[in-house]
């Protein structure tokens, strides 16, 4: 065995040379790894006894891609493109042995090899688009030559991986190894040598790209099919252009075009934001005072109180990953209704082809229902998902305290209420935590995990793991009104309403927020959530807000009643004269002379209060880091990931500029615009939230 670099060794097994990479945790293609691969190919070339080469990785995966931590710094030679040129240029056949997830530069490396074998669970994909870039080491030119243009487009533009073995018939892999992968790869290499098979270069294949030549409609149709989903993103269009280049240009020119389009994205703001977000998401899982090795409580069964929209959606998350879940309702009728809604949701997925009937049946079989709390006695976790009323929640937690076994996690899906007060209605506040799901709970990725004053560390650690297990992204937050997400949303909502009183119409505000990249603006969102919810909360607090109150008094509760701020033609929101009249009257009643408000002011007045509220949340220690707030907003509210999140976005503007604008708004509109001390301080020191250390 020869060490080529710190992480790459060269070994020989008879006629087969082996380049063995071991760079935990995911064998990212860092400088030392790239150099090692290159040296390995050179070592094989120099050794007459070596007739073929196997490239394999130790640990949990084949290369997971380029080393993202090297991005944004000067790239040290050799670059991945050069290394892969060396690999493909080897006259001795190179066999890649795939396991785990061969992603991005990892799959590109495999495609530069002359043959590929995999184990049955290996997955391959080009997820670069999710980082705001495109595969920049030949992936866009080689993949279409293997799997065909349409399939390659789908893989490159969605970034979603596929099972490697599903590419067997296309030659994406040449053999699936059922037993030991290393032995299987060596045996395959031996076979190639025995049969005298050549070093096959994918770059020299033309058949599959030629099939799409002269058919621009393939690309036009594809563009149309992704238009809605890719709105605002720059990378998907560049990805498509690279595949067009693969079809219309010789390989070398296509590679140059790939490089040009890659560079264009790589130096852009969107890619900086998306790369930041990649690490932000992973960072959120780390809780400074909860050690990584904290012993978890086992979660093998769950109970949900309330089979309404939230309860049903939450139950689906458990059923989807095979955890049996029991719904508890006050009446049999409500229970039947709730379970019927779940069945209908799954049936829709079946009719859309996203799951098959057998999967639906398997998931439904995990879901049971009862009206009897006693059934909760043996559940590992119980999540309360009834409506937002403290009295009711306390009563339920009192009951759970009596019924649930020792060590069970007692969670509330509250979106605003004081988790400590709820916990105090039990004799075991250390077992109580907030698990705030976002609607629709079976779809939205965010889970705000609300830590009470007494919540035990193992309950926190278990909840963070649970989030991952049910395919959510958990963010730990502290107790305050609305927690992180809804508290910042309220700040935006207040200003949106003020803008409407001053001169904008709801559709003006919504358009600006939509164009910024959100899926919808605050008023369309309020219509979707139901205006009656806020109305009831205001009534409870003795508060009024003329425009939404007037809409509710007319029975306009939003989409579900066919009208709210907008009237609805199907799901289409149409601006409505009734709303306009209410708005004009409200302005008049408030003694406001309406004025024309430009888009920039709308944007800043909606989003700067969120940044300010975020700063206060950090000061109060209710979020661990600014990037956690960004994760909440991207996964919970559809903040466009290509703008990183509110805190990253504020940094990208410059906090000094944000503060300056806020001061001018303060002079115009009052003290609610006073910048938070943390924001002031960072701005005056020329820093950003990125420099905040808690």
Catalytic residues: 108, 128
| Nearest residue (CB) to ligand 3H9, 68 versus 529 | 68
Maximum distance among all alpha carbons in the chain?
A: 92
Q: Is 271 or 463 the residue whose CB approaches ligand 3H9 more closely? A: 271
DSSP 568-632: EETTEEEE-HHHHHHHHHHHHHTT-------HHHHHHHHHHHHHHHHHHHHHTTSBS-HHHHHHH
Nearest distance from C-beta of residue 281 to ligand 3H9, angstroms: 8
254 part of the interface to ligand 3H9, by CB under 6 A: no
CB 358 to ligand 3H9: min, Å: 27
* Identified binder of ligand 3H9 from the candidate list 88, 124, 128, 382, rule CB under 6 A: 128
Number of residues engaging ligand 3H9 in binding (CB under 6 A) = 25
Tell me: does residue 257 bind ligand 3H9 (CB under 6 A): no
Among 136-144, 531-539, 619-627, 675-683, which window interacts with ligand 3H9 (CB under 6 A)?
Answer: 136-144
CA-nearest of 260, 266, 214 to 241 is 260
84 phi/psi in degrees, rounded to 5: -70, -25
Contact residue for ligand 3H9 among 36, 38, 57, 67 (CB under 6 A): 67
103 binds ligand 3H9 (CB under 6 A): yes
Are residues 564 and 553 in contact, defined by beta-carbon separation less than 8 angstroms? no
Nearest residue to 198 via CA among 24, 51, 347: 51
- Residue 429 binds ligand 3H9, judged by CB under 6 A: no
Check binding of 64 to ligand 3H9 (CB under 6 A).
yes
User: Which residues, numbered 262-281, are part of the site for ligand 3H9 (CB under 6 A)?
Assistant: 279
Question: Beta strands 16-21 and 8-13: pairing type?
Answer: antiparallel
Give the whole-angstrom CA distance, residue 437 versus residue 469: 14
Query: In whole angstroms, how close is the CB of 161 to ligand 3H9 at the nearest point?
Result: 8
Cis peptide before 25 (omega within 30 of 0): yes
* 223/259 with CB nearer ligand 3H9: 259
Q: In this structure, are residues 573 and 527 in contact, taking their beta carbons and an 8 Å threshold?
A: yes
Q: Are 87 and 37 in contact (CB under 8 A)?
A: yes
Q: What is the dihedral of CA 534, 538, 539, 540, to 10 degrees?
A: 100
Q: How far is the CB of 112 from ligand 3H9 (least distance, A)?
A: 12
From the list 66-74, 457-465, 502-510, 512-520, the region that binds ligand 3H9 by CB under 6 A is: 66-74
Shortest reach from residue 411's CB to ligand 3H9, in Å: 24
When asked if residue 135 is in the footprint of ligand 3H9 (CB under 6 A), the reply is yes
- Copy the structure tokens of residue 130: 């999710």
Please identify, among the stretches 124-132, 558-566, 610-618, 664-672, the one whose residues bind ligand 3H9 according to the rule CB under 6 A.
124-132
Stretch in the footprint of ligand 3H9 (CB under 6 A) among 6-14, 22-30, 434-442, 497-505: 22-30
Decide whether 166 or 421 has the Cβ nearer to ligand 3H9: 166
Q: Is 194 exposed, middle or buried (0-12, 13-18, 19+ CB in 10 A)?
A: exposed
Contact 323, 300 (CB under 8 A): yes
Q: Please, what is the minimum distance in Å from the beta carbon of residue 398 to ligand 3H9?
A: 39
List Cβ neighbours of 488 (8 Å cut-off, separation of 6 or more): 482, 610, 613, 614, 617, 629, 633, 646
Residue 136 or 548: which CB sits closer to ligand 3H9? 136
Near ligand 3H9 by CB under 6 A, which window of 61-69, 391-399, 423-431, 582-590?
A: 61-69
| Nearest one of 62, 221, 51, 85 to 153, comparing CA atoms | 221
Q: Verify binding: residue 68, ligand 3H9, rule CB under 6 A.
A: yes
101 binds ligand 3H9 (CB under 6 A): yes
Stretch that binds ligand 3H9, among 21-29, 190-198, 405-413, 506-514 (CB under 6 A): 21-29
Residue from 17, 36, 93, 105 binding ligand 3H9 (CB under 6 A): 105
Binding segment toward ligand 3H9, per CB under 6 A, in 129-137, 394-402, 473-481, 681-689? 129-137
**Cα(237)–Cα(256) distance, rounded to whole angstroms?**
17
Q: Which of 4, 8, 19, 28 binds ligand 3H9 (CB under 6 A)?
A: 28
Residue in 131, 192, 246, 631 binding ligand 3H9, rule: CB under 6 A: 131
Q: Which is nearer to ligand 3H9, 67 or 613 (CB)?
A: 67
Residue 413: which of 436, 395, 430, 429 has the closest Cα? 436
Decide whether 229 or 468 has the Cβ nearer to ligand 3H9.
468
* Distance, CA of 446 to CA of 426 (rounded, Å): 27
Site for ligand 3H9, residues 280 to 299, rule: CB under 6 A: 282
DSSP track, 419-481: HHHHHTTSS-GGGEEEEEE-SSTTT--EEEEEE-TT--HHHHHHHHHHHHHTT-EEEEEE-ST
Shortest distance, position 164 Cβ to ligand 3H9, whole Å:
14
**Are 242 and 141 contacting, i.e. CB atoms less than 8 angstroms apart?**
yes
Contact (Cβ atoms closer than 8 angstroms) between residue 603 and residue 646: no
| Binding residue (CB under 6 A) for ligand 3H9 from 8, 18, 26, 83 | 26
Which segment (57-65, 427-435, 438-446, 576-584) binds ligand 3H9 by CB under 6 A?
57-65
Sign of the alpha-carbon dihedral angle for 225, 230, 231, 233: negative
Please state, in angstroms and rounded to a whole number, the distance separating the CA atoms of residues 681 and 116: 55
Euclidean distance between CA atoms 594 and 410, whole angstroms:
50
- For residues 313 and 320, give the distance between their C-alpha atoms in angstroms, rounded to a whole number: 11
Is residue 260 within the footprint of ligand 3H9 (CB under 6 A)? no
Residue of the chain from 37, 137, 273, 381 that contacts ligand 3H9 (CB under 6 A): 137
How far apart CA 557 and CA 553 sit, in angstroms, is 9
Three-class secondary structure of residue 305 per DSSP: strand
Q: How far is the CB of 656 from ligand 3H9 (least distance, A)?
A: 31
Exactly one of 36, 136, 369, 614 binds ligand 3H9 (CB under 6 A); which one?
136
User: Closer CB to ligand 3H9, residue 68 or residue 390?
Assistant: 68
| Residue (139 or 254) nearer to ligand 3H9, CB | 139
Contacting residue, 17, 36, 127, 478, with ligand 3H9 by CB under 6 A: 127
Told to check if 25 binds ligand 3H9 by CB under 6 A, we report: yes
CB nearer ligand 3H9, residue 209 or residue 261: 261
Residue 476 as a binder of ligand 3H9 (CB under 6 A): the answer is no
Give the range of 59-67, 324-332, 393-401, 441-449 binding ligand 3H9 by CB under 6 A.
59-67
DSSP per position, 470-539? TT-EEEEEE-STTTTHHHHHHHHHHHHHHHHHHT--HHHHHHHHHHHT-SS-HHHHHHHH-HHHHHHHHH
- Smallest separation (angstroms) from ligand 3H9 to the CB of 240: 16
Tokens for 612? 């300010």
Least separation in angstroms between residue 235's CB and ligand 3H9 is: 12
Nearest to 284 by CA among 464, 550, 69: 464
Q: List residues near ligand 3H9 by CB under 6 A.
A: 25-26, 28, 61, 64-69, 80, 101, 103-105, 108, 127-128, 131, 135-137, 139, 279, 282
């Amino acid at each position: 065995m020869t060490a080529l670099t710190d992480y790459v060794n060269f070994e020989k097994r008879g006629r087969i040379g082996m380049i063995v990479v071991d760079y935990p945790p995911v064998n990212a293609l860092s400088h030392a790894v790239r150099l090692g691969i290159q040296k390995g190919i050179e070592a094989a070339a120099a050794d007459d006894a070596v007739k073929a080469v196997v490239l394999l990785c130790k640990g949990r995966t084949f290369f997971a891609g380029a080393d993202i931590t090297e991005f944004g710094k000067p790239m040290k030679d050799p670059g991945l493109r050069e290394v892969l040129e060396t690999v493909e240029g080897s006259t001795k056949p190179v066999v890649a042995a795939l396991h785990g997830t061969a992603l991005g530069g990892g799959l590109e490396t495999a495609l530069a090899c002359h043959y590929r074998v995999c184990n049955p669970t290996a997955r391959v994909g080009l997820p670069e688009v999710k980082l705001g870039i495109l595969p920049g080491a030949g992936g866009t030119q080689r993949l279409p030559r293997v799997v065909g243009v349409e399939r390659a487009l789908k893989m490159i533009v969605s970034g979603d991986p596929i099972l490697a073995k599903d590419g067997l018939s296309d030659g994406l892999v040449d053999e699936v190894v059922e037993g030991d992968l290393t032995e299987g790869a060596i045996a395959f290499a031996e076979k190639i040598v025995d049969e005298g098979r050549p070093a096959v270069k994918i770059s020299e294949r033309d058949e599959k790209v030629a099939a799409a030549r002269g058919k621009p409609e393939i690309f036009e149709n594809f563009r149309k099919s992704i238009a809605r989903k890719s709105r605002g993103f720059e990378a998907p269009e560049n990805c498509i252009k690279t595949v067009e280049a693969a079809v219309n240009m010789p390989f070398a020119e296509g590679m140059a075009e790939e490089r040009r389009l890659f560079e264009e994205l790589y130096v852009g703001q969107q890619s900086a934001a998306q790369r930041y977000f990649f690490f932000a998401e992973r960072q959120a899982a780390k809780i400074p005072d909860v050690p990584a090795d904290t012993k978890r409580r086992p979660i093998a069964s769950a109970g949900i109180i309330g089979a309404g929209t939230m309860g049903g959606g939450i139950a689906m998350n458990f059923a989807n990953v095979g955890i049996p879940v029991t719904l508890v309702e006050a009446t049999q009728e409500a229970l039947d209704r709730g379970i019927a809604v779940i069945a209908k949701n799954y049936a829709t997925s079946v009719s859309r082809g996203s799951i098959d009937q057998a999967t639906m049946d398997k998931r439904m079989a995990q879901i049971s229902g009862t009206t009897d709390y006693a059934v909760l006695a043996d559940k590992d976790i119980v999540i309360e998902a009834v409506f937002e009323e403290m009295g009711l929640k306390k009563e339920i937690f009192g009951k759970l305290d009596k019924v649930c076994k020792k060590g069970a996690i007692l969670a509330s899906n509250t979106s605003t209420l004081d988790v400590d007060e709820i916990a105090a209605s039990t004799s075991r506040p250390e077992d109580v935590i907030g698990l705030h799901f976002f609607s629709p709970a079976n779809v939205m990725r965010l889970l705000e995990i609300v830590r009470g004053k007494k919540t035990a560390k193992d309950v926190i650690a278990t909840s963070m793991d649970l989030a991952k297990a049910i395919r959510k992204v958990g963010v730990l937050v502290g107790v305050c009104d609305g927690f992180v997400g809804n508290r910042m949303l309220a700040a935006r909502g207040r200003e949106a309403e003020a803008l409407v009183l001053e001169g904008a119409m709801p559709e003006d505000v919504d358009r600006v927020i939509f164009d910024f990249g959100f899926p919808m603006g605050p008023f369309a969102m309020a219509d979707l959530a139901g205006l009656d919810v806020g109305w009831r909360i205001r009534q409870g607090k003795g508060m009024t807000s003329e425009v939404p109150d007037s809409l509710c008094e007319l029975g306009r509760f939003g989409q579900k009643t066919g009208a709210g701020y907008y009237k609805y033609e199907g799901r289409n929101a149409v601006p409505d004269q009734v709303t306009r009249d209410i708005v004009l009257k409200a302005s008049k009643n408030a003694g406001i002379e309406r004025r024309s408000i430009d888009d920039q002011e709308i944007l800043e007045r909606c989003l700067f209060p969120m940044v300010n509220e975020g700063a206060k949340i950090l000061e109060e220690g209710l979020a661990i880091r600014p990037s956690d707030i960004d994760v909440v907003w991207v996964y919970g509210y559809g903040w466009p990931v290509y703008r990183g999140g509110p805190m990253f976005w504020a940094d990208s503007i410059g906090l000094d500029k944000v503060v300056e604008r806020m001061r001018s708004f303060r002079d115009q509109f009052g003290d609610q615009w006073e910048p938070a001390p943390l924001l002031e301080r960072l701005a005056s020191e020329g820093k950003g939230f990125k420099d905040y250390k808690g």
